[in-house]
Structures are given as structure tokens and as C-alpha cells.
Amino acid sequence: MNINTIKMAMLGMIAIFTVSSCAVRSETKRVGCSTRVGIVFDIGGKNDRSFNAAAWEGVKRAEKE
């Protein structure tokens, strides 16, 4: 096999993986499954009006969804 054939095969595989990763999957709710999420804040605390606050809001939003 020459280099061009190998390159084309690699590009083809990458394209297939990219397209297949975008496939829509039906979501099913798992019965009896509970998820627990933990978060660790740095010295600023959860209301530092920066990264900690954004992370905290994300956790609260995920809890609602």
C-alpha cells in the first residue's frame, strides 16, 4: 500500500466515525437509577460571581433537567 491509499483510508474512517457520532439516539429513562453529583469550590466559595458561581448554577440547572 502506498502512502496516499493509507491517507485516504484514514480520512474515510474519520469521516465515518464523525457521521456516526452525530446519530440521534432515543433516550430512555432508567428506572431505579439515581445519579449523584458532587462539586468542589475553591477559596472563593459558591457565590464568587465567577467560575464557582457558574459551576453552581450549572449543577442547579442540571438538577432541574
Say yes or no to pLDDT of 48 above 80: yes
* pLDDT tens per residue, range 13-43: 998 888 777 766 666 666 655 777 788 888 8
CB-side neighbour CA atoms (13 Å) of 51: 6
- In Å, what is the CA distance from 12 to each residue of 2, 20, 26, 50, 52? 16, 12, 27, 43, 42
pTM of the model: 0.44
